[in-house]
Every structure is written in structure tokens, then in C-alpha cells.
Structure 1
Amino acid sequence: MVKVAVLGASGGIGQPLSLLLKLNECVTELSLYDIVNSPGVAADLGHINTPARVTGYLPADEGLKHALTKAHLVVIPAGVPRKPGMTRDDLFKINAGIVRDLATGIAQHAPNAYVLIISNPVNSTVPIVVEVLKKHGVFDPKKIFGVTTLDVIRASTFSSEISCKDPRDIRVPVVGGHSGPTIVPLLSQISPPQSFTQEQIEKLTHRIQYGGDEVVKAKDGAGSATLSMAQAGARFASSILDATVKGKAGIIEPSYVYLEADNEHCANLKKAVEGLEYFSYNVELGPGGIHKIHGLGEISEHEKKLLAAAIPELKLSIEKGISFINSKL
């Protein structure tokens, strides 16, 4: 039995994400939780002819407990999306409390689960989840992941528009964090190799960093990047299930992680980013979650400047998440 729980399953990301997970052959039970509509979403998905059984829970009658119990994987897209005029600080104030409460539920009812955090701002919500699990004595650094896959998907898509290659064949490492200037695309390491002018590099970098704004504007304030984020979340979830359930080796995905998850390389990984405890690197997955965190490799002078700009922003976001939990105790 492989149970996957989606917390925030009725929202703009949660519904398409749940649909994609229902189609995943590894999933035998899909457990949906939200403050509204989750039983209806579950009933709808339950009509799809794949083996996964779908259940939906609301906060009443210990719904969160039932949704999480015996979960192998927990995915958290819960929270409000960023709207026009909303600062990331506004977003943090709302979503931090939501994520804290869900993390408490995970600590109590699914302490051994792999946890994928989509809720923004990821740079702060991942530290929030970690701090909550630490307080409950159930923290395993190899099992906590901030989902930054959308940045890689965007990098592949936008690069392909210049090269005219199939975007599915393009891989661009994207490191750092998951917001604006903290997103650092390593276009010098694109695979297969491509040559860009400096002007193209700067335009591509800006578009990858601020692709979310592009969607918010196009939706005229009616929403944010939900469908692409759902696909990114499902892709990362699939990679986790392939590694932890099927035992596939050599799977590498980007993720915003706690760097002490890789004891062997932790010191060098932190040194490269001025001592940050969290950073999005390419992560090699294994049966226990994080098998190895890969370093930056050779980066260009332009990328070094991007990294230097990202580090202070990341430091502030990490401190904000940690302080939020400590101030509530």
C-alpha cells in the first residue's frame, strides 16, 4: 500500500495535482484534505478508472488525522496564492500559520512520511516545517523537500523557444531558492549544450526568475501559476515514489533542502553559499529520500553575481521562517 496525502487538495494547485497523482501507478490510496470541498473532489476523482482509492476529509471529526495516518508521501499545496499588489511578506503572514498547523499534524500522525512543500513562500515555509518537526522530535532531514521543479520546467520551456529544440530534452540546473532574485538558472550548464548571447542570457534569467508574475498578469488578477505548478509538483512526487517505492537509482531533481541531509558533503555545500542551512541544489534521490546533494560545479561570472544577490535574500527568508516558529512558543 502506498498512501499519498494532499493537504490543500481543493485549491487551484491541489485539484490538478490530485488528478495527476490519481493517474500515478505507484499510488494505491490518495487522501485529500482541505478546509472545504475535499469530499467532493475525492468523489469526482474516484470515478477515474485507475486503482488508487480516493478519500476526502475536512477539519471536522479529526479529518487531518485520518488523511495523514499511514501516509508514505505528503504533498502540501495549501495556502493562498499571490495576487497583484500582494507582497511576499503579506503572503508569508497568511501561509506561515497554515503550514505550521499542517506540519504539526504531520509530526503527530505521519512522522515517517516524505514531505513535499509547495506552499509559498517556499524559502520560508520549508524552515517552518523543519522547525515544527524538530520540536516534536521526528525530524529526518532526508525526507523534507521544497518543490522548486517549476523553475526548472520554465527554464527548459523558455530556453527551447530560443533554440527551437524539444523542451522535454532540455535540462537547465536551477539553484538557490524559489522566488525572484533567489532563483539562479545555471544556463552555462544547460544540457544538451547551447550557446546564448549575453543579452539572451539576461533576458532568459529574468523570465525564469519572474515567470510567476507573467502568469498572474495574464490571468488579470484572477489567479497565479496553478496548472504548471501542479505538473511540477506531480513530477517531483513521481520522482520520490520512483526512488522510494520502485527503488530506481540515479534520479536527480532540484529541491530546496536542509543541507545537513547530506552529512558527507554538508560543509562544502554550505561553504559555497556562505553558510546557508537551506538551498536548492540538484538532489540525488534514493530509498531513504536524499541520497546525495550535488554542488554547484563550474559556474559563469554572471551566475556568480546572481548567486551573490540571492544569498542575502535567502538568509532573510530562512530566518523569518525559523523566527515565526520560535516566536510562537
Structure 2
Amino acid sequence: MVKAVVLGAAGGIGQPLSLLLKNNPLVTSLSLYDIVNAPGVAVDLSHINTPAKVEGFLPPNEGLKRALEGAEVVVIPAGVPRKPGINAGIVRDLATGIATTAPKAFVLVISNPVNSTVPIVVEVFKKHGVFDPKRIFGVTTLDVVRASTFAAEAVKDASLAAKLVVPVYGGHSGVTILPVFSQAKPALPASFLENKETLEAITHRVRYGGDEVVKAKDGAGSATLSMAYAGASFVEKVLRAVTGEKGVIAPTFVYLEADPVGGAEIKKEIGGDVAYFSVNVELGPTGVEKILPIGKVTEYEKSLFPGALTELETNIKTGASFIDGAKL
């Protein structure tokens, strides 16, 4: 019995994400919240013949509180595309609702900019005295999905796309995104890995894949369907771990103190003292069980880390300072 909640369920990401979660057999209760249209989305989804019971809530009559009561997994895709200032306020308010109603829930943050919105959630939880670093996640799965897809395209092997996994570290925007093609499983051809021009082009494409979507949509939208797919994939892994499966590994932007030993190793590997980093983690019933080391990277890949760290430090500080002194 798992109750999942989607905050921002009527939006471009929220609707397809809610559909995918309704189709997940591990979800038995699905609660949808948004400032408009959530009840309609819920009724629409409730006609699908899968077990999850769906309810929709709006702000009136303590809708957020009612949506969150009993929540075990809360996913936050809420926000306005490419409006970081607005999204910061939205995430702050939703985080306050979670901290006061469902403080033990696993919180999965999709709302951008993730490098700043995750620290916002953490600082809100700290102010309410309910912070558990093992239970708050930034969803960076789309970077892995893109890196894997683009690499398969580059080596002209369509059959590889479904099974290829390219690890991505760092953060979830621009230069903070660090795809490590040398660690791909199954391994990519040496001819690909040794071609610096190709690597630079694909690294850039992974980092700015969102721009590609916005341009293709003539500025009328951003990445919604691919993000919903990636978000549902991460939720699936959290649910599997929560329900007892062992050895579940997933990429996520986390507070490194979630695993002090593993976090210290990451800081040593990257040569920086950032509080958050996107890494592979082993998930368990309480959330982050273990932060896994990055391991061996190529000289080219290593050269990308300093720029990422500088940008990440700024992003993290921006998010944390948004909550400093705020009355919640």
C-alpha cells in the first residue's frame, strides 16, 4: 500500500506523470493537487482500469493538506517553465505543506532549477525541525535518459538505446551536467570515446537538451513528456526500494550528508566542498542507503568538473538564501 502525491498534477509534466503513476502497480492511492483542474485530471485517470484510487484537490478547503495526508512519496513537478524566481516561491510553499503534513514522506523534486529548488526544500524542512537528508531527492534522471539516447544515436545503434545507461553527475542545468560516457554500460566503442569533437558535441547536447525542445515547440513549451517519463522512472525505483527490493541504484541530486562516508568520498573525488551533488545512490526503505563513488573518469571528463562546481556553488547558495530569514 503506497500513497503517491503529485503536486502540480494538471501541468505539462504533471498530467503525463500522473498517468504513468496510475499505471504503476506499486501505487495504490494517487493524490493529485494543483491550483486548477486537478479534480478533472483525477476523474479522467480514475476511468483507467488499474488498482490505484485517484483523488484531485484544489487549494480551497485545505486542499494541499488533504492531498498530502498519509503520503509516502511526494513528487513536485509544479511550476512555470523557465521561471526560476516564480518556481522558488511555489516550491517553498509546497515544501511547507509537506513539512507540516507529511514530514516523513519521500520528496522528489522535479521543479526547476533543481540545483536551487532542492536546497529550498531542505531549508524549509530544517526550519520546521523535520529534515531527513535521506528522504529529499532532486530528479535528474532526464539527463541520464538524454545522454543514453544521444550516445546510441551517435554510434548509429538504435537497438542500444533501450539498454544503454550513461551515468551523469553534478547538477541538473547547463555546465553542471556531467555525462560520463566512459562509464556507459554496455561500454561504448573506443572510436566514440576517443573522438573529442563528438564527445564535446554530445556533452553540449545533453547539457542543453531542454533548449532543443523549446526551439522545436516554437517557444510554446518545454520538455514535458520526456521529463514525465524520466520522473516516473525515478519514482518507480523509489517505490521498489520502499517496498523491500534490495540493490536499487538510481541517479539523483542529493544532500551529500545523507551518507557522510559516501558524501565525503564524492567531495574528495571532485575536489570541492559542495553540499549537494548528483550521484548514483543505493536506495532502501529509509531512502538513501549509500552514496556510491564516481570512480574512474577520463581526462576530458575530469576537465569538466571545476566549471560545474563553480556554477553549482552559486545555484545552491541562491536556493538556500531564498529561505534564510523567511517566516514559514
TM-score category (smaller protein) = over 0.9
In 2, Cα distance between equivalents of 1:323 and 1:81: 22
Query: Partner of 2:179 in structure 1?
Result: 185
Query: Partner of 2:160 in structure 1?
Result: 166
Query: Partner of 2:131 in structure 1?
Result: 139
Supply the AA of the counterpart residue of 2:116: S
TM superposition shift of 1:266: 2.5
Supply the AA of the counterpart residue of 1:158: F
RMSD: 0.9
C-alpha distance after superposition, 1:271-306 (max 9, x if no partner): 333100000001111111111111210111111111
Query: Partner of 2:315 in structure 1?
Result: 317
Supply the AA of the counterpart residue of 1:100: R
Query: Partner of 1:112 in structure 2?
Result: 104
SS in 2 for 1:10: coil
In 2, Cα distance between equivalents of 1:253 and 1:265: 15
Query: Partner of 1:223 in structure 2?
Result: 221
Aligned residues: 320
Query: Partner of 1:253 in structure 2?
Result: 250
C-alpha distance after superposition, 1:9-48 (max 9, x if no partner): 0000000000000000011110000000000000000000
In 2, Cα distance between equivalents of 1:236 and 1:317: 23
TM superposition shift of 1:200: 1.3
Query: Partner of 1:103 in structure 2?
Result: 95
Equivalent runs, 1:269-284 vs 2, <5 Å:
269-273=266-270, 274-284=272-282
SS in 1 for 2:304: helix
Query: Partner of 1:85 in structure 2?
Result: none
C-alpha distance after superposition, 1:202-242 (max 9, x if no partner): 11111111100000000001100000000000000000000
Matched, 1:213 2:207: no
In 1, Cα distance between equivalents of 2:35 and 2:61: 12
Query: Partner of 2:43 in structure 1?
Result: 43
Matched, 1:157 2:157: no
In 2, Cα distance between equivalents of 1:322 and 1:141: 15
In 1, Cα distance between equivalents of 2:233 and 2:263: 26
Matched, 1:287 2:295: no
- Relative to structure 2, which stretch is displaced further, 165-174 or 229-238? 165-174
In 2, Cα distance between equivalents of 1:211 and 1:305: 21
In 1, Cα distance between equivalents of 2:44 and 2:275: 41
SS in 2 for 1:59: coil
Supply the AA of the counterpart residue of 1:249: K
In 1, Cα distance between equivalents of 2:266 and 2:145: 24
In 2, Cα distance between equivalents of 1:185 and 1:266: 19
Determine what percentage of the aligned residue pairs are the same residue.
64
Supply the AA of the counterpart residue of 1:143: R
Supply the AA of the counterpart residue of 1:53: K
Equivalent runs, 1:194-205 vs 2, <5 Å:
194=188, 195=190, 196=192, 197-205=195-203
In 2, Cα distance between equivalents of 1:200 and 1:193: 16
SS in 2 for 1:116: strand
In 2, Cα distance between equivalents of 1:45 and 1:203: 40
TM superposition shift of 1:265: 2.2
In 2, Cα distance between equivalents of 1:79 and 1:10: 11
SS in 2 for 1:252: strand
Q: 1:129 aligns with which of 114, 121, 128?
A: 121
Supply the AA of the counterpart residue of 1:5: V
Q: 2:259 aligns with which of 245, 262, 271?
A: 262
Equivalent runs, 1:38-77 vs 2, <5 Å:
38-77=38-77
SS in 2 for 1:6: strand
Supply the AA of the counterpart residue of 2:30: L
In 2, Cα distance between equivalents of 1:264 and 1:254: 18
